[in-house]
Amino acid sequence: MQTMQINSLPTQEKEWRSAFPILNKVLYGKYPLVYLDNAATTQKPRQVVEAMTEEYYNVNANVHRGVHFLSMQATDLHEASRETVRRFLNARSASEIVFTRGTTESINLVASCFGQAFMKEGDEVIISEMEHHSNIVSWQLLGESRGIKLRIVPITDDGRIKMDDYEKLFGERTKIVSITHVSNVLGTVNPVRDIIRIAHEHGVPVLIDGAQSTPHMPIDVQELDCDFFAFSGHKVYGPTGIGVLYGKEEWLDRLPPYMGGGEMIKTVSFEHTTYNDLPYKFEAGTPDYVASTGLAKALDFVTSIGLDTIQTHERDLTDYAMQRLMEVEDMNIFGPKDVSLHDAVISFQVGNIHHLDMGTLLDRLGIAVRTGHHCAEPLMHRLGIEGTCRASFALYNTREDVDALVEGIKRVRQMF
């Protein structure tokens, strides 16, 4: 059972897992938890939870506005966290790091502010067929209010961007490209360097949705040369309710504020208000300064292991899982078969067993997977399906977890 499994693991995996108390849970009185829903959210290591508890117990005070000891200490922690994020993404300056509530808010911020500043009726945004709803609906809202059009890059049957079609979508009205780095359904790793290079050749900026790449690979926004990059803290072992928008200073400077309130202003009168410097112009109201500490701890945690090491481990797991899953009769795996293009997320369907039945029965064996359309309904339409079962890996997953999944699926299959 659980202890035997842990004992048989290599030392480094045992050490990584030991930071996550929740992984010791036993479900329904006998099944050790096999947590394979990491694309939805990751578990939190002790370091994150303890740092946040410590801040609430010993530091708590509102940031930026206080002259008293605790407020200054909380402000220092919050700004040190911003610097940790800067280092993590290799941004040029901490003023390019905007704290948001998550990827969704980051994308909405860009859609709203960029749209307001640079787009008018008939202008176009390029997105792809594999986007999460947050990278579709944010732009649709803009379309409704300002008459902006979506241009959609098609994908191949195995879930890769059709690059020739992408290039053909550019025209005079193209104002921005907004594309996911890694698909949350197919696990496809998109060729974002080429996507960005081609957009820049047309003088068009690019927003990269990094929700599913940030936990799994090193990110260097300067090397990518993306104009905006969004990610969520909770998907990279950090707390919920905090995320990041990176933006090149020259773009953020030219965008209007997103929300009005405290923090984002320099002076206010009834006649005229002036706005704060970057990044505070985009951070109206009290920020979640405790979550920023948690996020920084989470990023320190993954950095101490090394994103390269994490990527190698998870690629190995993905590769192993793809091979083992193919042992199951009637198994259909979506997305690229080549594991160098396929990252830590595997969507599958077994014969005509409904994904909801599969997920529910796997749960009864202690195995947590996600089922449904994964907030990507247009992609489901493209694939001609209603939904999938999705297993997604994190650094603490093991080959034993994959074995449990495969054995679980085989058992479920026998029931039908």
Nearer to ligand PLP, 64 or 234 (CB): 234
Does 211 bind ligand PLP (CB under 6 A)? Our answer is yes
CB of 23 to ligand PLP, least distance (A): 21
Total of residues contacting ligand PLP (CB under 6 A): 11
Nearer to ligand PLP, 148 or 185 (CB): 185
For residues 150 and 140, is the Cβ–Cβ distance under 8 A?
A: yes
In the complex with ligand PLP, which residue's Cβ is closer, 95 or 232? Answer: 232
Look at strands 124-128 and 174-180 and give their pairing: parallel
Residue 311 near residue 216 (C-beta atoms within 8 A)? yes
Any contact of residue 388 with ligand PLP (CB under 6 A)?
no
Least spacing, CB of residue 374 vs ligand PLP, in Å: 7
102 in contact with ligand PLP (CB under 6 A): yes
Judged by CB, which is closer to ligand PLP: 136, or 264?
136
Say whether 375 is catalytic.
yes
Find the binder of ligand PLP among 132, 281, 342, 390 (CB under 6 A). 132
Q: Which helix (H) or strand (E) holds 337?
A: none
Q: Print burial letters for 356-395: b (CB count within 10 Å at least 16), e (below 16).
A: eebbebbbebbbbbbbbbbbbebbbebbeeebbbbbbbbb
- The DSSP 8-state label assigned to residue 307 in this structure reads H
Q: Are 344 and 355 in contact (CB under 8 A)?
A: no
Burial 310-336 (b: 16+ CB within 10 A, else e): bbebbbebbebbbebbeebeebebbbb
> Which residues have C-beta within 8 Å of that of residue 398, sequence separation ≥ 6?
5, 9, 13, 17, 317
CB of 244 to ligand PLP, least distance (A): 11
Q: With contacts defined by CB under 6 A, name the span among 29-37, 75-83, 102-110, 268-276 that binds ligand PLP.
A: 102-110
**Under rule CB under 6 A, residue 283 binds ligand PLP:** no
Binding of ligand PLP by 115 (CB under 6 A): no
What residues numbered 163-182 form the site for ligand PLP, per CB under 6 A?
A: 180
| Closest distance of CB 122 from ligand PLP, Å | 27
What stretch of H or E contains 197?
A: helix 192-201
Cβ proximity to ligand PLP: between 350 and 376 the closer is 376
Using the rule CB under 6 A, which residue among 184, 293, 388, 392 binds ligand PLP? 184
Residues that bind ligand PLP (CB under 6 A): 102-104, 132, 134, 180, 184, 209, 211-212, 232
Task: Write out the catalytic residue numbers.
Answer: 375
